[in-house]
A and B are shown apart, each in its own frame.
Chain A
Amino acid sequence: MIIRISDDALARALGADELAAAFASKGHEVHRTSSWGMHWLEPLVEIAGMGFGPATLDDVDAILDGTSPKAIGEIVEHPFIARQQRLTFIRAGRTRPTSLEDYERTDGWTGLQRARRIGGERIVEEVIQSGLRGRGGAGFPAGIKWKTVAGTPGAQKYIVCNADEGDSGTFADRMVMEGDPYALIEGMAIAGEAVGATQGYIYVRSEYPDAIRKLNEALRLCAGIIAPFRCEVRVGAGAYVCGEETSLLNSLEGKRGEVRAKPPLPAIEGLFGRPTVVNNVLTLAAVPHILAEGGAARYEALGMARSKGTMPIQLAGNIRHGGLFETAFGITLSELVYDIGGGTDSGRPVKAVQVGGPLGAYIHPDEFDIAFDYEAYTAADALIGHGGITVFDDTADMGAMARFAMEFCAAESCGKCTPCRIGSVRGVEILDRIRADGREADSVEVLPVMHNAPKTGRLPEQEVALLTDLCETMKFGSLCALGGFTPYPVMSALKNWPEDFMPGREGAVRKVLDRNDA
């Protein structure tokens, strides 16, 4: 019998290797596949299309004789899978990640072959037509970026894949790299064909050892197929800010991962000062599908408004049915959290959802009808980011989460610009003072010579006004999204849950916020 068990890092962290060994020791053929993305069922055992999970070593015999209570029925019919529109994750659960045979059998390389036939100009046209936007967070149209690089003269150009997926609540990049590495590599080779680049780099964070291993193996096996395009994995070194594209380029060059001021755009002066395409894993992995016959039109037909195609959404945090859910843009948060995610894992009421990683806004359940769309989120002072959704139950202290956002920014700031480097530290201090009911005047302020200093200390609502000011400065004065977006989680938490900042005095917080809005 053929037993299929994922070798995704998440399944392995939950004992998939031991489980695979147990089935193998009973004489069965075990295939290690990618993950279906139903993480609450991992490790998921698949036999002839039927699923069993979450499986432990104690379940092995019952699964084999068909009496296991962990049976979930046919996997493809499971509502979590059946409701999805999978393009980027079309192979998830279905193929062995580094098997060239499996990849070719599932239409692998057809996008690249067609791209080579139609040539650079038409590739760029089709990517523009598809409406594909950068999936890393900024949502910049991928085709326009490619067109800029293609139109910039240069003897050497680069394709850089941003695989520094540092946002908490996101894991789609990891799942692509571990589960379908050839799709990413094919996307990069197509990008190379489009802009005239022959060298690619995949910058992977060091926290993803499995992804690094599999990408290296895949690149070794497919080197002949993608040639003359060459590609190499580079490993990050634990700096969150290197997920910002210019900081990533500096890191690739062997420098401190400090952000560069733009312009010049990386498309014109990127890696080693040469024209460079920098795209996220999900952006590049969507490309082979778009370049297949009729793919661009199919992609463009999905989604809403200016958000075209599908988005691999990651359901994370305190959620019952966590995992990877790819669907066309336009789905609401309430569908994602309640219908698909099944509410919280703890069974308690949902208090908040953070969309878009550590720099995304905390959204209140009252606003859960918001549609998944770049512009709709921007209008609501929030962001889609990389599509991660982190659910919190009612035990979460949003004041503590706001403080953590500032603390995280302080820990990960590259230090280049002042609003981020110093603002984040001051932000932590102000939040501490708000939560400690303001502060007394200090010993210097009360000195008679300090004529202009207030003698009464500061009330918590005055600290709130200060925080609002600080957040404005960080938002508009920072060089990159780290300092620029940290105000989103902070201000959204303050606006939606003032009781977690000043218990019993929510009115005072609202008054300050209203004054600032006016």
Chain B
Amino acid sequence: MVSTKQERVTEIVADHAGREGPLLPILHDVQAAFGCVDAETEALIAGALNISRADVHGVVSFYHDFHAAADPRPEVQICRAEACKARGVEALIPAAEKAAAGRVKLTTVYCLGLCSAGPSARTGDRLHARLDSAGLVEVIENAR
């Protein structure tokens, strides 16, 4: 298991060889491949790029998109920024949390760029807008 992970990380780092400032693109690929960037992977990346583990960890922990541990649950991102608040997203949250019930991971994001048609949500690369309570519950129930 360890060796395959190491191979995969080495592959990803090699994919980005020669790019300027390759760390973020590498971390995105690692996050997509393993669902997280854990301490072991941080060390592997640090070794491959010849930077310190602290440097890699500092970057991983700074950005919301990178996680230290994988979460197997499907994720639904709900926008709770000003424009969606103005369109009533806060009133939908209790029903959303009930529908998620631990099976689905609900995350708050600040803005999906659909500000004239909120409340909005995202599952994977699929966006949903003009959601009412029933609509959001449906998105959450269908999240796989």
Contacts and interface: CB of A to CB of B under 8 A. Distances in A.
A322 B83 CA distance: 11
A355 B27 CA distance: 35
Interface stretch (B2-10, B59-67, B68-76, B98-106): B59-67
7 A-B pairs with the lowest CB-CB distances in the bound complex, closest first: A322-B116, A254-B23, A168-B81, A238-B64, A237-B63, A316-B115, A317-B86
A410 interface: no
Interface stretch (A388-396, A477-485, A503-511): A388-396
A206 B114 CA distance: 14
Given A13-B117, A239-B64, A354-B82, A234 B128 contact: no
Contacts of B79: 168
A169 B82 contact: yes
A236 to B, nearest CB: 8
Given A168-B82, A254-B23, A358-B81, A238 B63 contact: yes
B110 A412 contact: yes
Contacts of B58: 255-256
Nearest to A242: B63
Interface residues of A, number: 61
Given A207-B109, A257-B63, A252 B21 contact: yes
B120 A237 contact: no
Interface residues of B, number: 40
Report which residue of B114, B122, B128 has the largest number of chain A beta carbons within 10 angstroms of its beta carbon: B114
B127 A315 contact: no
A411 B127 CA distance: 24
Majority secondary structure of chain B interface residues (helix, strand, loop or mixed): loop
A170 B63 CA distance: 22
Interface of A: 9-10, 12-14, 39-40, 42, 165-171, 174, 206-210, 234-240, 251-258, 272, 314-319, 322-323, 345, 354, 357-358, 388, 390-393, 396, 401, 404, 408, 411-412, 414
Given A10-B129, A317-B82, A401-B85, A207 B113 contact: yes
Interface string B18-56: 001111110110000000000000000000000000000
A237 B128 contact: no
A209 B125 contact: yes
Contacts of B84: 168
A317 B83 contact: yes
Contacts of A169: 81-83, 115
B109 to A, nearest CB: 6
A255 B51 CA distance: 11
Contact of A317 (B28, B62, B87): B87
B114 A171 contact: yes
Contacts of B113: 9-10, 165, 170-171, 174, 207-208
15 contacts: A9-B114, A14-B117, A206-B28, A207-B113, A207-B122, A209-B125, A236-B24, A236-B65, A237-B28, A237-B65, A239-B63, A254-B24, A319-B116, A322-B115, A358-B81
Contacts of A171: 113-116
Contacts of B62: 239, 256-258, 414
